[in-house]
Amino acid sequence: MKNYFYILFLMVQVALAQDAFKEGNQNYQNEHYQEAITNYESILASGKQAPEVYFNLGNCYYKLHKIAPSIYNYEKALVLHPNDAEIQTNLDFARKMTIDDIKIVPKVGFAKLLEDITSTYHYDGWAWIAIILAFVFLGFFAGYYYANATQIKRVFFSGMFVVLFMIIWSLFAALYEKNRIAEDRPAIVFADVAPVRGEPKISAPESIILHEGTKVYVLEQIANWKKVQLTDESTGWIQEDAIKELK
C-alpha cells in the first residue's frame, strides 16, 4: 500500500511541477517576470531540477536587470546541460552587465584536455550513456552467441570489445566529472559591493573590490569568511553572505 502511495505522490508532484512550468512560461510571455520567477522557484523548492527551469529563471532575472541572480541561474543551467549554445550565449550577455573586468588565466595541459572532454556531458549524462551501451553490449553478445557463421561471430566479438571500452570510458568520465564538480566550488557575488581582504577579518586591508555577478571559486572557510580565488588566480577573503555558491 505504501508503494502505491509513493507512486501517487510522485505523480502529483510531477503534474504540479509541469503546471507551474507552463504557468511560468505564460507569465514570461506576458512579461510578468516576477510572477514567472515565483512559478519556476516553486519547482526548485519541490526538489525538481532541470536546465530549462534554471535557464528560464535566468531569463526572467535578466529582463529585470538583476545581474547576480541571472548569472547564477544561467550557470546552474550550464552545469546540468554543459556546452549548450543558447545557455552560453545568454550567460555571455548577462556577464556584459557586470562591472568587474578580471583577467581569465586559461588552463593548459592534459588535465584541461581531459576536462574539456568529460565536461561535454553532466556526470548523470555519462552514466546514462554507460547504461545504454550496456544494452548494446548485450545485443552484441546475443548476436555472437546465436550467430552461426564464423565471420559474423568475429564481427560481434570485436564489437563487444569496442562497446566494453566505451562503457569503461563513460563510467570513468562520469566519476571524473562528478569528482571535478565536487572539488570545484564556483560562486557568484550577490552583494552590490564586496571587498576582498588579505585576511579573514574586517580590519584587514582590501586587496580588491568585487561587484555583483562576478564569479569566484571558494577554496576554504573560516567562520563567516570564505577564501576565494578569482579567475586571474589571485586569492583573498570575502564575507560569506556576499556570495552564493552554485551547489
Query: What per-residue confidence (pLDDT) applies to 144?
Result: 92
Fold of 2-95: 1.25.40
Q: What is the pLDDT of residues 86-116, one digit of tens each?
A: 999 999 999 999 999 888 777 777 888 888 8
Query: What per-residue confidence (pLDDT) applies to 64?
Result: 96
Q: Report the distance separating Cα 17 and Cα 41, nearest Å.
A: 10
In the chain, which residues have pLDDT < 70? Answer: 1-17
* Domain range 186-245, CATH architecture: Roll (2.30)
What Rg value do the Cα atoms of the chain yield, rounded? 23
Enter the pTM of the model.
0.76
Query: What per-residue confidence (pLDDT) applies to 15?
Result: 47
Query: What per-residue confidence (pLDDT) applies to 76?
Result: 94
Q: Report the distance separating Cα 46 and Cα 198, nearest Å.
A: 40
- Angle at 20 (CA atoms; ends 18, 22), nearest 5 degrees: 70
Amino acid at 105: V
Query: What per-residue confidence (pLDDT) applies to 111?
Result: 80
Query: What per-residue confidence (pLDDT) applies to 172?
Result: 96
Query: What per-residue confidence (pLDDT) applies to 17?
Result: 67
Query: What per-residue confidence (pLDDT) applies to 189?
Result: 96
